[in-house]
């Protein structure tokens, strides 16, 4: 057993209520799918240790409420402190959830650093017959706002893990630039790390703390 220090990356999971944010997180953390989740009230976070290009990192993923609740929270901006990445989610069967991405992007622009890494997820891609938002529209919006884009299905376990790994890789690639660069938008970014016990050779991406 060896004790090592690993970087800790804070990630926000954002989007309207009911788009499947918690299902996406559960699928990534536990390979599980629960059909009917209660709506998230406020925020909750969970962590997972993964390996990115032979580098071990710990993701601290904050599952946030939909805008129907979060708009009444006076401390919303505090959740953006030291955020490295954002997973922005809409439901491909819900046109309104896609249209409301403008609200979420404004919130991100107002509260997060310019160099925060973002990925846009079109959730519930298994519901092909109920689709209201084309994949092309998602791709175009992601390109416009410099975001990675994937469509996912928690029910069929499609692309949920890939989404977090792509975001984590972007964060890893960007971290050194952030540490060496100017303080974008005058929002302080702090590097975090912690010591953990690691037993070799283990499957790092299966570790959940």
The sign of the dihedral angle between the CA atoms of 192, 195, 199, 200 is positive
Which is more confident, 54 or 118?
A: 118
Q: What is the pTM of this model?
A: 0.80
182 contacts 107 by C-beta, under 8 angstroms:
no
**Given this model, what pLDDT does residue 184 score?**
46
**Given this model, what pLDDT does residue 204 score?**
34
Could you write out the DSSP letters of every residue in 79-125?
A: GGTTEEEEEEEEETT-HHHHHTHHHHHHHHHHHS-TT-EEEEEEE-T
Q: pLDDT-derived band of residue 20, with 50, 70 and 90 as boundaries? A: very high
**Given this model, what pLDDT does residue 192 score?**
63
For residue 178, the SS3 value is: helix
Q: Which domains does the chain have, with CATH numbers?
A: 2-206 (3.40.50.300)
186: pLDDT strictly greater than 50 = no
Token digits of residue 90: 């809409």
Residues 76-79: contacts with CB within 8 Å, 24+ apart? 76/107, 76/111, 77/110, 77/111, 79/12, 79/43
- Mean pLDDT is lowest, of 72-81, 83-92, 112-121, for 72-81
List phi, psi (to 5°) of 67.
-65, -20
State pLDDT tens for residues 80-102: 889 999 999 999 999 999 999 99
Alpha helices in the chain (DSSP H): 21-30, 67-70, 95-99, 101-111, 135-144, 160-180
């Amino acid at each position: 057993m060896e004790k090592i220090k690993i970087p800790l990356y804070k990630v926000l999971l954002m989007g309207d209520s009911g788009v499947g944010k918690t299902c996406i997180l559960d699928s990534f953390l536990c390979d599980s799918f629960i059909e009917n989740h209660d709506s998230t009230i406020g925020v909750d976070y969970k962590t997972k240790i993964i390996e990115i290009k032979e580098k071990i990192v710990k993701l601290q993923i904050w599952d946030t409420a939909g805008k129907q609740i979060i708009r009444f929270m006076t401390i919303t901006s505090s959740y953006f402190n030291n955020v490295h990445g954002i997973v922005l989610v809409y439901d491909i069967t819900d046109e309104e959830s896609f249209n409301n991405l403008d609200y979420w992007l404004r919130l991100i622009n107002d509260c997060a650093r310019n160099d925060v890494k973002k990925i846009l997820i079109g959730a519930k891609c298994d519901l092909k017959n109920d689709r209201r938002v084309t994949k092309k529209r998602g791709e175009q919006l992601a390109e416009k706002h410099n975001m990675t884009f994937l469509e996912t299905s928690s029910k069929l376990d499609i692309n949920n893990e890939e989404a977090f790994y792509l975001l984590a890789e972007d964060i890893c690639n960007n971290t050194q630039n952030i540490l060496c660069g100017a303080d974008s938008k005058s929002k302080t970014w702090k590097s975090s790390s912690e010591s953990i016990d690691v037993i070799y050779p283990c499957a790092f991406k299966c570790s959940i703390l």
